[in-house]
Chains A and B, each alone.
Chain A
Amino acid sequence: MRRLKVFGSLVKDSLDVITHGSKKYHIWMAFLTFVMLVGMYCYSVQLEHGLSVTGMTDRVSWGLYISNFTFLVGVAAAAVMLVMPTYVLKDIDFKQAVLIGEGIAVAALIMCLAFVIADMGGPSVLWHMIPGIGVFNFPNSMLTWDVLVLNGYLFLNISIPFYILFRHYQGKESNSKVYIPGALLSVFWAVGIHLVTAFLYQGLQARPFWNNALLGPRFLASAFAAGPALIILVLAIIRTFTAFKIRNETLKKIAMVVTVAAQINLIMLISELFKEFYAPTHHSESAYYLFFGLDGKTALLPWIWTSISLNVLATVTLTFHKLRNNSKVLYFACFILFVAIWIEKGFGLIVPGFIPGPYGKIVEYTPTGIEIGVTLGIWALGAFVFTMLAKTAIKIETGALRYHKNES
């Protein structure tokens, strides 16, 4: 009973927190709301006319939505790179960062689910997928595995921070015996969500570009580069705009994680390029299309070469201690690395899987305005959710938000 009362008061207090703030905060939230509304309008057009308003066709049947979904699974998985040192290895440096990391994971997972739903032809019959009511093709379909692991990870990433914040809200220390098992589980789970998502593509013998054993590991490497890179950027913003203290050592340690992951990712890229181009086979055609174009069709060239240049530049920059330890250079490197991997996991992975088609037909894909609108709307939704979560968490962690018995 008492817990319910505390919970009610927490909800009331956090509503209070997220509706009040500086002018900049209000402008930011209004901007996100506007983008979300535009996205919702675009989605309503898509619901009305069907997926024909997107650039997808029978030849390229997955596009921008599934690309973003794939990338964001990686961002979500990256929270674990902060969870492990903090909860399991008891490295205190990360303690402030980890709640933010988990907030990013929650926002990324919500975006993932939104992208999958946006991509569905029949969102009104989505209940067919609910185990028990519908028919769940488990374990045959990797998509059902993905549904399970993503929702499980979402649950873990909501419940662990919620428990900690709930204790701190009451001015109590959180009991490590309660959250350590969950944190440990989420470490394995994070690797799981990304591997399962990679297996979604890797298991298709029809698409040689995806059907390669390196896909899963490369997903992990790029995720552990892009995710923490985003966390660094977010922490930098939070440090400037709020009273939340984040020490330089924390950022430096996360930067180390980003650097190693980016280096491994680059090695794997070289290995893939070697395999595709040293002795090109019929199965290398998608890679040829991606990097050099086929039959004069070159839509992806600007994307992939931008991605590779940014990737190399960022990795080289991060490798030098002097450059990495300069915070301005670090932020810049993290930003371009994030963009590079977004391109690589999106246009560089999903789209060329379909080109050329099963019989060699080359039909290119360009997203339409509606598709881009929905995509931006979902990104705004993610940013919106994250801002609310982070604002409440920071207020509790800095001690500004506490439960008062008399008040309720």
Chain B
Amino acid sequence: MIRCEQLKVTFNAGLPTEKKALRGIDLEIPEGEFVTVIGSNGAGKSTLLNAVAGDIPVSGGRILFGDRDVTRVPATGRTREVARVFQDPLAGTCGSMTVEENMALAYGRGSRGNLTFALNDKLRKIFREQLSRLNLGLENRLDAEMGLLSGGQRQSVSLLMAALQPSSILLLDEHTAALDPKTAALIMDISAQIIAEKQLTVMMVTHSMRQALDFGSRTLMLHEGKIVFDLKGEDRSNYEVSDLLNLFAKARGSDEALDDDKLLLGS
């Protein structure tokens, strides 16, 4: 479903601040696979997700969705296939618009906006049904301003919004990192539910080793813009968090101590 061939991304090319964020990623994710992506800060995890989404230009290699080469297709042209949830709960929704307006926007994802009314009773019914899955009482607050909701509530709505339109690829960029543990667990639960129900192809970036092993069927580790290991099947089910941490230490070089607190969170 998603194929990257020798994918390279370089920021500030030719300048003293040049940064090779991705240095040739070869990756094939079959349809319906749920891949978790880990790696230290600056390893290129988010860059990989942004490249797949089309947010940043690629400096080399190709990206394909199925047989379709999307390397030069801008982000807006990929939204028929790709849905996303961001790390920042404020990034995925418009705070100054109501819950139903936000959902109506997501409902129109992938189609050109036209001059029919964005909201009607049929849509409101669909939105209410979807919101009631969250058990947060939001189904009765359709006309509340998004900015009045808590971060967890907003992130929950973002997740529902990502799943409103049929899409095949879901990109989750540390989408539970900014939430308290209880809300994070709730959001992860709903994510897993939606992913299973819609049989989505998923890439989830996470800083939590526990999450990386508990969810999905494959784990990638990135380091300095390269995939340093690719864990799946039998192998993966035998892995423990401590094994991952060892791999991490190895990837970073034996002389470098594991000093990143974030990596240990949730382990």
Is A bound to B? Answer: no
